[in-house]
Amino acid sequence: MATVKTPITELDFDGIKSQLKTYLQTQTQFKDYNFEGSNLSALLDVLAFNTFNNNFYTNMAINEMFLDTAMLKNSIVSHAKELNYLPRSRKSARAQVIITISNEAETAQTITIPQYSNISATYLGDTFNFVTDQAFIAKRIAVGVYQTDTITIYEGQMLESFQREGFIVDSEGVLRVALSNDNVDTDSLVVFVDAEATDNQNVFTLARDIYGVEPTDKVFFIEPYFDDRFSVYFGNNNFGQQPEEFEDVRVRYRITSGAEGNGITNFTASFVEGASITVETVVASLGGAEREGIESIRFNAPRALQIQERAITTKDYEILLKQKFPEITSASVYGGDELDPPQYGKVAISVYLSDDTTIISQTLANSYIEYLNDRSPLSIEPVFVQTEYVYADTTIDISYTSKLASRTASELESLVRAAVQTYSDDTLEDFDKTLRISKLSTALDAIDTSIQSTSIDVKPIIEYAPALNIKANPRFQFGQKLIQPYAFNIGSDSFTGYKPAIKSSPFDLNNVCVFIQDDGVGNIQIVSEDTLNQQVIKPIAGTVDYETGEVKLVDFVVQKFSGSGIKITANTVDQDVKSPKGRVFIIRDTDVVVNMNLIESKSATINTSKNYT
């Protein structure tokens, strides 16, 4: 009996009880272990339950001990704290506005808009409050009319804590202030020590690290507390001044609705009595974000430790930007030597927010650069490069059968277009992405059983919006090998059937509608759009490199173009289209052509036989 090994591999109740029964099979004294009514079975239940409980608690405790396996947010936050990582709190959406105050009775040269002035907004049926984070001056621009520059306002409401309930003094005498609200935007924290309730003196400011902090500096630090709350603590007279035990510590902060405050454009305000206030939106609110989630903390905390708030490699820049600015979906960072013309000693930064915000405002770009300036090496200067895009000229042929069609052709086409947009949203819309034809084709095949086959042809489009009537030498990099056509020979039927590697949409030049195309030997020519008398207007307007996909135009002048820009399309060797460096790949619905081909009933029979050869 003693030699029999009792298996100890099971962790759940039934498994453990079964193992105990297996053990009892080796003895003859008590045989009723298999009958639920027996006293022995009742004892086995208790033993198995106790073992199961121990297993559960041990498993939970060990899981929670490691960042990789912890399930509870409080545990993950605690591990992140060890890595000196501060999980992101809720973030206020911020909007850029110009405030105009009209008050005929006012004669002063300026009007001061106080700090924390409230501005209201209604969006999708909800009411939001925005506040100014500092005082602004509105200058007189006409009699009784005062206007600010473009200012930033933040979604949320200012709260002030006068309570001492949240104060904790631990055994080492370290004073902490636990913030009672879990909707705090930690960027808005201001701490006052031993100041009157109405007094803004003795202000302590947030320190993100201890470098350069003197024992007498008035700084505070933040750390995650628990249940999504944060606490404020001080430097214990080593890394910052420590308030005395009974000094009154007040904390002022903004509570926010997070991501719900994004996209707001209509604001109203009435903070100056007797005046009419107009709020003009320059940039709609963005940047509002929820608290950092469990998986995000698990991913970012070790990486934040690696980069140590310093931007050295390109990945460092990307991680820092995405950490600080939650509105950034992706970032592309590369050396200034790759810019055209090269800018040595600089690092180029482009960011992608969303397909609703394709142009990044100068103010926003400045905020990104300002943040990175303090974190990049002394000799490296970050420069913002406006985000560029590559689109896809997509032609989709769908063959479908009427036998299995539960939907009409137009319904199917709508579904195909929706599937293409979903593919673009989920798979593309980022830097360095590749449109895989087979993946898109699989997604389209799965839309409806009536779809028998799909054929997809994709050509990359780069859009160029030149300043009108000004000579320029633009360069476009498709970054892929192009299909070099046969050499173009001017003749009567030379345009018929010619398939250029590069072709543009029409634009006006000297009152003639023209487009550009390559000539098969590496030159870009300008050709008239007139179908009856088509001719080459300028045989050499630039060059194209068929190996690298680089197009250079020389002394290029445009008189007029339609739409958002001239579309330059490339015919690439690879069917899968890759986004060139520093460009975000997007499929626009306007660039998609869907041809629905109905297969006749005879050929629509589905062959269900299988060959096993």
Partner 1 sequence: MPTAVELFTPVTKKVNLYSDFRKDLLQSPLSADIVILKDEDAVKDSIKNLILTDPGERPMQPFLGGGIREMLFENITPATLKLIKDKIKTTIELYEPRAELIDISVKSNIDDNVVSVIIQFYIINRQQPITLDVILERIR
Where on the chain is the footprint of partner 1 (CB under 8 A)? Answer: 13-14, 29-32, 35-40, 42, 45-46, 48-49, 52
| Residue placing its CB nearer to partner 1 in the complex, 22 or 343 | 22
**Bridge partners of 431?**
584
Total residue length of the chain: 613
| Residue placing its CB nearer to partner 1 in the complex, 17 or 250 | 17
DSSP class of residue 511 equals T
| Residue placing its CB nearer to partner 1 in the complex, 53 or 373 | 53
Q: How far is the CB of 89 from partner 1 (least distance, A)?
A: 42
Query: 457: which residues sit within 8 A by CB, 6+ positions away?
Result: 394, 395, 396
- For residues 350 and 431, is the Cβ–Cβ distance under 8 A? yes
Q: Which two tokens stand for residue 130?
A: 């925005």
Q: How far is the CB of 38 from partner 1 (least distance, A)?
A: 5
Q: How far is the CB of 55 from partner 1 (least distance, A)?
A: 13
Q: How far is the CB of 49 from partner 1 (least distance, A)?
A: 4
- Cα–Cα distances in angstroms (integers) from residue 473 to residues 311, 514, 541, 546, in the given order: 33, 18, 10, 19
How far apart CA 492 and CA 339 sit, in angstroms, is 42
Which of 9, 6, 18, 5 minimizes the C-alpha distance to 45?
A: 18
| Residue placing its CB nearer to partner 1 in the complex, 37 or 491 | 37
Which of 490, 518, 515 minimizes the C-alpha distance to 502?
A: 518
C-alpha angle with apex 100: 94 to 101, nearest 5 degrees? Answer: 125
Q: How far is the CB of 67 from partner 1 (least distance, A)?
A: 32
Q: Which two tokens stand for residue 503?
A: 């072709």
Q: How far is the CB of 72 from partner 1 (least distance, A)?
A: 24
How far apart CA 334 and CA 349 sit, in angstroms, is 7
| Residue placing its CB nearer to partner 1 in the complex, 53 or 402 | 53
- For residues 360 and 326, is the Cβ–Cβ distance under 8 A? no
How far apart CA 592 and CA 395 sit, in angstroms, is 6
| Residue placing its CB nearer to partner 1 in the complex, 27 or 366 | 27
| Residue placing its CB nearer to partner 1 in the complex, 16 or 259 | 16
Q: Which two tokens stand for residue 342?
A: 């090269």
Q: How far is the CB of 57 from partner 1 (least distance, A)?
A: 15
Which of 258, 115, 246 minimizes the C-alpha distance to 190?
A: 115
- Cα–Cα distances in angstroms (integers) from residue 563 to residues 89, 386, 529, 587, in the given order: 41, 20, 17, 17
Instruction: Please compute Rg for the chain using Cα positions.
Output: 33
What count of other Cβ atoms lies within 10 Å of the Cβ of residue 442?
12
Q: Which two tokens stand for residue 387?
A: 């985000």
| Residue placing its CB nearer to partner 1 in the complex, 46 or 359 | 46
Which of 70, 57, 65, 51 minimizes the C-alpha distance to 9?
A: 51
Q: How far is the CB of 40 from partner 1 (least distance, A)?
A: 5
Q: How far is the CB of 32 from partner 1 (least distance, A)?
A: 4
Query: 132: which residues sit within 8 A by CB, 6+ positions away?
Result: 113, 114, 115, 116, 117, 119, 151, 153, 154
Q: How far is the CB of 47 from partner 1 (least distance, A)?
A: 10
> What crossing angle do the helices spanning 13-24 and 39-64 adopt, rounded to 10°?
130
Q: How far is the CB of 29 from partner 1 (least distance, A)?
A: 7
| Residue placing its CB nearer to partner 1 in the complex, 52 or 384 | 52
How far apart CA 265 and CA 210 sit, in angstroms, is 40
Q: Which two tokens stand for residue 498?
A: 């010619």
Q: How far is the CB of 27 from partner 1 (least distance, A)?
A: 10
With the C-alpha atoms ordered 332, 338, 342, 345, is the resulting torsion angle positive or negative?
positive
| Residue placing its CB nearer to partner 1 in the complex, 52 or 507 | 52
Tell me whether strands 219-224 and 203-206 are parallel, antiparallel or unpaired.
parallel
| Residue placing its CB nearer to partner 1 in the complex, 38 or 150 | 38
Q: How far is the CB of 579 from partner 1 (least distance, A)?
A: 56
| Residue placing its CB nearer to partner 1 in the complex, 26 or 306 | 26
- For residues 550 and 481, is the Cβ–Cβ distance under 8 A? no
- Please confirm whether the linkage preceding 341 is cis (ω < 30° from 0): yes
Which of 339, 346, 342 minimizes the C-alpha distance to 379?
A: 346
| Residue placing its CB nearer to partner 1 in the complex, 41 or 548 | 41
Q: How far is the CB of 13 from partner 1 (least distance, A)?
A: 4
| Residue placing its CB nearer to partner 1 in the complex, 28 or 379 | 28
For 394, the 3-state DSSP assignment is strand
